């Protein structure tokens, strides 16, 4: 059985952006996460009420 050759990664395929300090803060700030959770759920409730 032949071994598979590892794929040579393309430069663009390996580029990953690093999050900014602000992004990291928002991801770890619980009041912001709670607000987003509430907002998304209220949006979903509105969509369900409109279509049922």
Confidence of residue 9 (pLDDT cuts 50, 70, 90): low
Is residue 38 situated within a structural domain? yes
Domain count, the chain: 1
Counting Cβ atoms within 10 Å, is residue 13 exposed (0-12), middle (13-18) or buried (19+)?
exposed
Is residue 13 situated within a structural domain? no
Tell whether the model's pLDDT for residue 10 goes beyond 70: no
Task: State whether residue 20 is helix, strand or coil.
Answer: coil
- pLDDT for 50 equals 92
- pLDDT for 8 equals 63
Is residue 11 situated within a structural domain? no
Is residue 31 situated within a structural domain? yes
The domain in which residue 43 lies consists of 27-51
Tell whether the model's pLDDT for residue 30 goes beyond 90: yes
Tell whether the model's pLDDT for residue 13 goes beyond 70: no
Q: pTM for the whole thing?
A: 0.58
């Amino acid at each position: 059985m032949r071994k598979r050759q590892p794929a040579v990664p393309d430069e663009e395929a390996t580029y990953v952006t690093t999050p900014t300090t602000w992004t990291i803060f928002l991801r770890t700030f619980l009041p912001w996460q709670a607000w987003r959770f509430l907002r998304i759920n209220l949006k979903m409730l509105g969509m369900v009420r409109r279509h049922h």
